[in-house]
């Protein structure tokens, strides 16, 4: 594996794609022309991940329940870059696209794909979070202290 900053970039793009709605990831990948010749190292597979919590939020780890995850791995025919894709949910197509984007980001197409796929997904998530956060802030209680005799 390469240096730390490359790993951090890779971690960020894989995390972004994993959390993105599958239909958005697929749509952005299609319009970015991500489907390039490749071989499938690990065919798309639906599985689970056991989610753990901690007693009292900070104490002993315990098994809370599982979540569905789909993963796939590919190798590009041109340059033999290997890409891994993990996505929440059960979309084979999204997992393959995530793996392809991961592989292509190791080539000279990296910055183009960041701009056409990863950053839009991050912006959409931020916008969604922002709207939800604002909605929550609207339900924050403002206490008035009642002072007698004034």
Partner 1 sequence: MALSEPSVTDTMGGGFANPPRDAAIAFRAALDVMARPGVIREITGGHPPLPLSPAAGSLLLVLCDPETRVYLSPSCDTDAVRAWLRFHTGAPLVAADKADFAIGPWDQLCPDLARMRQGVQDYPDRSVTLIVEMDHLAAEGVRLTGPGIKAEAFLNLPETTAFVANARRFPLGFDTFFTSDSQIAALPRSTSIEGAS
Partner 2 sequence: MYVAVKGGERAIDAAHEWLADERRGAPDVAELSISQIREQLSLAVNRVMAEGSLYDPDLAALAIKQARGDMIEAIFLIRAYRTTLPRFGVSAPIDTGAMRCDRRISATFKDLPGGQILGPTFDYTHRLLDFALMADGAVSPEVKEGGPTDAVPLPHVTEFLDREGLLQPEPEDNTPPRDLTREPLDFPADRPLKLQALARGDEGFVLSMAYSTQRGYARNHPFVGELRIGRVAVSMDIPELGFAIDLGEITVSECETVNQFTGSKTEPPQFTRGYGLVFGQSERKAISMALVDRALRWEELGEDNVGAPAQDAEFVLSHSDNVQATGFLEHIKLPHYVDFQSELELIRRLRAEAMMASTGPREAAE
Q: Give the footprint of partner 2 on this chain (CB under 8 A).
A: 1, 7, 10-11, 14-15, 18-19, 45-69, 71, 73, 84, 86-90, 129-141, 143
Binding status of residue 39 toward partner 1 by CB under 8 A:
yes
Q: Which of 40, 51, 64, 127 binds partner 1 (CB under 8 A)?
A: 40
Give the nearest distance from C-beta 28 to partner 1 in angstroms: 20
DSSP state of 57: G
Burial of 117 per CB tally in 10 Å (0-12, 13-18, 19+):
buried
Backbone angles phi, psi at 47, to 5 degrees: -150, -165
- How many residues of this chain interact with partner 1, rule: CB under 8 A? 13
Binds 38: which of partner 2, partner 1, none (CB < 5-8 Å by kind): partner 1
Burial of 107 per CB tally in 10 Å (0-12, 13-18, 19+):
middle
Q: Which of 82, 88, 110, 125 binds partner 1 (CB under 8 A)?
A: 82
Q: Which stretch binds partner 1 (CB under 8 A): 10-18, 19-27, 36-44, 136-144?
A: 36-44
Dist CA 96 CA 40 (whole Å): 9
Give the nearest distance from C-beta 143 to partner 2 in angstroms: 6
Nearest residue to 29 via CA among 125, 107, 102? 102
Backbone angles phi, psi at 81, to 5 degrees: -70, 140
- Distance separating the N- and C-terminal Cα atoms of the chain: 70
Q: Which of 8, 30, 42, 130 binds partner 1 (CB under 8 A)?
A: 42
Which residues in this chain contact partner 1 in the complex, by CB under 8 A?
Answer: 37-43, 45, 73, 75, 77, 82, 96
């Amino acid at each position: 594996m390469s240096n730390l900053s490359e790993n951090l970039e890779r971690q960020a793009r894989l995390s972004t794609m994993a959390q993105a709605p599958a239909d958005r990831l697929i749509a952005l990948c299609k319009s970015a022309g991500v489907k390039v010749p490749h071989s499938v190292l690990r065919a798309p597979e639906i599985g689970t991940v056991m989610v753990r919590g901690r007693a009292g939020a900070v104490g002993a780890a315990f098994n809370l329940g599982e979540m569905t995850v789909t993963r796939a791995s590919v190798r590009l025919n041109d340059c033999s870059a290997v890409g891994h894709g993990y996505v929440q949910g059960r979309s084979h197509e999204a997992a393959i696209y995530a793996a392809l984007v991961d592989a292509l980001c190791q080539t000279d197409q990296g910055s183009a794909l960041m701009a056409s796929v990863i950053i839009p997904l991050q912006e959409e998530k931020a916008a969604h979070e922002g709207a939800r956060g604002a909605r929550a802030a609207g339900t924050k209680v403002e206490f008035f202290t009642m002072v007698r005799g004034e």
